[in-house]
Chain A
Amino acid sequence: MKSFHLTVSVLAFAAAMPAAARDQIQVTGSSTVLPYATIVAEAFGENFDFPTPVVEGGGSGAGRKKLCEGVGENTVDIANSSSRISQSDIDLCAANGVAEVMEVRFGYDGIVFASAVDGPEFALTPADVYNAVAETVLKDGALVANPNGTWSAVNAALPDQNILVLVPGTKHGTREVFDTKVIIAGCKETGAHDLFVAAAEGADDKEKAANADKACMELRTDGKSIDIDGDYTETLARLDADKNAVGVFGLSFYQNNTDKLKVATMSGIVPSTESISSGEYPVSRPLYFYVKKAHIGVIPGLKEYIEFFVSDDMAGPDGPLAEYGLVSDPELAATQEMVASETPMAPLQ
């Protein structure tokens, strides 16, 4: 009899489970956006009568896949992303019945090069970085395996210090920006890109250029460029251990650790929220979050949360996000309008 009661109560418990309505917003995605999203979530919980949203990290790609898993209370409402959604994600969404997704760009994130605070100053250019970390560089008019051992060999103006660059691992959104805005830019600047195109195989110019880009992005494997698969705290720890290292960080991370890090200029521009929003500092990327439109009106507070996120109080140039290191989006007003009218995103170009 007892066991019967137990079975019945377990079954009842299991049956009651899906019936419980979710009353808090679920957010997942990019670990770069995570600190911004938690700051907004916390302020949202303080100032609104809705529960504080639950914010998860885990990566941009993983977050978008979770968003596209389907519609319903046990799927997430918002995916944070430090890179733009891809067509394959949109297809996945459509296949799983997630018809309308809102794309909200709320600001920009700068990517900076920084070294130990008591070390020498670095004034880098994309070409310097390319010559320091690429597998193959242009030397005396020919492509050769990277011979540079010290920064001064790359550029006589740089310190005479062994090259060691801590690069974000390939699973990071930061790596994409590093590749396109620094490595490929440097590759083109040094002229290596032209030779790669000339040597590349491909049916047409477009394919050749793509293959040349790929060849540019090959980093040296002799231990002078190290992929960091963890987050910026790991990069900082490696930099503490080896004072010669130069690490790649997010601007916000650097701003929270100015007592340990010295930032390098890029093409003569000091990275700051101002120089990034004006577009002077070249290495930056937009930050997004993607909202499942079908959940607006179902999950309480979802629309309020999005509106609060992009409001001037939060994402504006004087808001707490800018204070933390976000570069405010100059077109924030358009975004606010888009959120207010709940416009879903147009197909990708």
Chain B
Amino acid sequence: MTDISAAGPGIRRPKQSILTASDNMKRRNAAEVRFKAYGLLAITVSLTMLAIMLFTIFRDGVSSFHQATLNFPVELTAETLDPKGNRSREEMVKVTTVGYQKVLSQALLAELQARGITQEGVTDKQIADLISKDAAGALRARILANPDLVGTTIDANILAAGRVDGFLKGRVTYGTAERDNQISPDQLRLVEQLRDAGIVQSSFNWTFFTNPDASDQRPEAAGLGVALLGSAYMMLMVLVMCVPVGVAASIYLEEFAPKNRWTDAIEVNISNLAAVPSIVFGILGLAIFINFAGMPQSSSVVGALVISLMTLPTIIIATRASIRAVPPSIRDAALGVGASKMQTVFHHVLPLAMPGILTGTILGLASALGETAPLLLIGMVAFVDNYPSAPPEGFLDPATALPVQVYSWASRADPAFIERSNGAIIVLLVFLVVMNVAAILLRRRFERRW
């Protein structure tokens, strides 16, 4: 009413109908259509990026889950492996991997002769080069653990050299072998014969999950074992250190702390802490935990402490948000029937905030799992060949972590490591997806809306 009277009788309004669109209306509708298109475009662009990234990772990485092996009988001759003949470990350790390598290559040559497989232009040494350099060490460890095997013939299932593996996967071709000084086309022809004879086989690569890292000369033997264990140790310690501290801090700040300048300052600082670049925590960790407190380098406990510092603000922020989301009526009711403040918090508020806390914790851990930068400085980006022992001593042993393994493989010279690196990314992504899905499911299942 007021509008009409304000317009006054002197101003003529254009005749309007809700059935025909006015210019103004058309303009506004067009703007909406455009905005929707922008939104769609944004989503398409981000999904395309994601798809390209996943495609390249899977294209380059899936092959790492298959591995070429050589299967042939190996006669463990006592003369070479146990020259004294008394089967005592002290005597047998004197035979180095060089001796075991000879045993393996002789066995392969004998097998080829027995099967009548020959190939022009391949020397005996080149045939021996088809065996992974890691095989001798693996056989030596197996025999030293069980000296009675000496003198028997075992069916060896050993790793083939990286280039042979690459040939079965299509990475190495006759064309590249022409120019490659690690393998010749004739060797590849022999590999084809061996594959037809069933000596070279490709099977699921369990060693990728169990083996430790390997040096540049044996990409085929490199695995994620130490990295998986190190990451698991770290996540366990982060969980144990962060959740009690984070939840206690949040409860105090939300429910008990007086609201004054100090708590405001703390609140601002916690938010700031969450935004500090992770490398800063690495420098801090090096200075405090290693140089000052004297904790061992490269150990998962230092890694866990550093990552805990990073994860703590995330957990505190998530926990405070979910405690705040519990309606005050619950607290009022509990206090009204005579519960103490502490009873109110622990019997009513905390259980209701639990799903939110859990989700926040899992998401915090997921981001901690992928953290690399702080680990660079505390010596976890290293070549670690021995498994850390069982906890709690194992927490002090050197270890690596999954993202660190991706990083160190990506910078190796042999192209076979690129495949491994992408394989490790896939494993890491699977862990992250599982954690995020768990967080979503927990939230769906337990979340209460008020």
Do A and B come together as binding partners? yes
A residues with CB within 8 A of B: 13-14, 17-18, 20, 22, 24, 26, 28, 31, 34-35, 37-39, 41-43, 45-47, 49, 51-52, 54-58, 69, 72-74, 76, 117, 230-233, 252-253, 255-259, 313, 320, 323-324
B294-331 to A contact mask, C-beta < 8 Å, 1/0: 11111001000000000000000000000000000000
CA distance A26 to B398 in the complex (A): 10
B180 interface hit (Cβ, 8 Å)? yes
Residues of chain B having any CB pair with chain A under 8 Å: 93, 96-98, 133, 136-137, 140-141, 176-177, 179-182, 214-218, 290-291, 293-298, 301, 376, 379, 381-386, 392-393, 396, 398, 408, 410-415
Determine how close the nearest CB of chain A comes to the CB of B93; give it in whole angstroms: 7
Q: Which of B180, B214, B297 has the most CB of A within 10 A?
A: B297
Tell me if A22 and B296 are in contact (CB < 8 A): yes
B293: A residues at CB distance < 8 A = 14, 17-18
Closest-by-CB residue of A relative to B244 is: A6
CA distance A39 to B215 in the complex (A): 5
CB of B214 within 8 A of CB of A42, answer yes
How far apart are the CA atoms of A104 and B310 in the complex, in Å?
Answer: 40
User: Which 10 A/B pairs are nearest by Cβ-Cβ distance?
Assistant: A52-B385, A46-B137, A259-B176, A38-B215, A55-B383, A56-B382, A35-B216, A256-B413, A39-B215, A38-B383
B216→A54 contact, CB < 8 A: no
In the complex the two chains form, what is the Cα distance from A35 to B219 in whole Å? Answer: 12
Instruction: Find out whether the CB atom of A54 lies under 8 angstroms from the CB atom of B217.
Output: no
Nearest chain A residue, comparing its CB with the CB of B410: A233
Q: How far is the CA of A20 from the CA of B295 in the complex (A)?
A: 9
Give CA–CA (A26, B384) in the complex, Å: 10
| Residue numbers in B under 8 Å from A39 (CB-CB) | 215-217
Are A17 and B217 in contact, with the CB atoms below 8 A? no
Would you call B291 and A256 a contact (CB within 8 A)? Answer: no
Q: Chain B's nearest CB lies how many Å from the CB of A206? A: 39
Q: Are B383 and A51 in contact (CB under 8 A)?
A: no
Say whether, besides A74-B296, A258-B179, A69 and B383 are in contact (CB < 8 Å). no
B411 to chain A: closest residue by CB: A231
Closest approach, in angstroms, between the C-beta of B385 and any C-beta of chain A? 4
Contacts of B180 in A (CB 8 A): 258-259
Chain A residue with the shortest CB-CB distance to B137: A46
User: Known contacts A74-B290, A231-B411: does B97 contact A54 (CB below 8 Å)?
Assistant: no
Q: Is the CB of A56 within 8 A of B381?
A: yes
Selected contact of A17 from candidates B96, B181, B294, B410, CB within 8 Å: B294
- Of A37, A39, A320, chain B has the most CB atoms within 10 Å of the CB of A39
Contacts A46-B137, A233-B412, A313-B98 aside, 15 further interface pairs with beta carbons under 8 A come to A20-B296, A24-B386, A39-B217, A42-B218, A42-B385, A46-B136, A47-B96, A51-B386, A52-B385, A57-B381, A58-B381, A232-B413, A255-B181, A256-B413, A320-B217
Q: How many inter-chain contacts with C-beta < 8 Å in the A-B complex?
A: 123
Contact B383 A41 (CB under 8 A): yes
**Alpha-carbon separation in the docked complex, A56 to B297 (Å):** 11
A26 to chain B: which residues have CB within 8 Å?
297-298, 379, 398
Chain A positions within 8 Å of B381 at CB level = 56-58
Per the bound structure, the CA–CA distance linking A296 and B176 in Å amounts to 46
- Which B residues lie within 8 Å of A58 (CB)? 376, 381
Question: Are B97 and A46 interface neighbours, CB within 8 A?
Answer: yes
* B97 & A256 in contact (Cβ 8 Å cutoff): no
Q: Please measure, in the bound complex, the distance between the C-alpha atom of A35 and the C-alpha atom of B216, giving whole angstroms.
A: 6
Collect the chain A residues with CB atoms within 8 Å of residue B376's CB. 58
> How far does the alpha carbon of A76 sit from the alpha carbon of B378 in the complex, in Å?
12
Give the distance to chain A from B415, nearest Cβ to Cβ, in Å: 7
Contacts of B414 in A (CB 8 A): 256
Q: With a CB–CB cut-off of 8 A, which chain A residues contact B137? A: 42-43, 46-47
**What is the CB-to-nearest-CB distance from B438 to chain A, in angstroms, rounded to a whole number?**
27
Q: A22-B296, A43-B97, A258-B181 are in contact. Are A55 and B216 (CB under 8 A)?
A: no
Most chain B CB atoms below 10 A, which of A22, A69, A252: A22
**Distance of A167 from chain B, by nearest CB (Å):** 18
Contacts of A45 in B (CB 8 A): 385-386
With contacts A49-B93, A55-B382, A56-B382 known, is A35 near B413, CB below 8 A? yes
Inside 8 A of B136's CB, which chain A residues have their CB? Answer: 46
How close is B115's CB to chain A, nearest CB, in angstroms? Answer: 29
Instruction: Give the CA-CA distance A22 to B412 in the complex, in Å.
Output: 28
Contact A24 B398 (CB under 8 A): yes
A28–B379 touching, CB < 8 Å:
yes
Please tell me if the beta carbons of B413 and A233 are within 8 angstroms of each other in the complex: yes
Q: Are B383 and A34 in contact (CB under 8 A)?
A: yes
Q: Are B398 and A323 in contact (CB under 8 A)?
A: no
Q: How far is the CB of A132 from chain B (nearest CB, A)?
A: 26
8 A–B contacts from the bound complex (CB under 8 Å)? A26-B379, A39-B215, A42-B218, A42-B383, A54-B297, A56-B298, A257-B415, A259-B179
Expressed in whole angstroms, the Cα–Cα distance for A47 and B415 within the complex equals: 27
- Residues of chain A within 8 A (CB-CB) of B301 are 17
Given contacts A257-B413, A259-B176, A313-B98, contact A20 B385 (CB under 8 A): no
Question: Which of B215, B384, B414 counts the most A-chain CB atoms under 10 A from its CB?
Answer: B215
Interchain nearest-CB distance for B285 vs A (Å): 13
Q: Chain B residues with Cβ under 8 A from A259's Cβ?
A: 176-177, 179-180
Contacting residues, chain A, for B291 (C-beta < 8 A) = 69, 74
- Write the nearest CB–CB distance from A153 to chain B, whole angstroms: 30
Contacts of A20 in B (CB 8 A): 296, 393, 396
Q: Roughly how many angstroms separate A116 CA and B180 CA in the complex, as a whole number?
A: 14
A34 to B176, CA, bound (A): 27
Distance A51 CA – B290 CA, assembled complex (angstroms): 22
Check A52–B217 contact: CB distance below 8 A: no
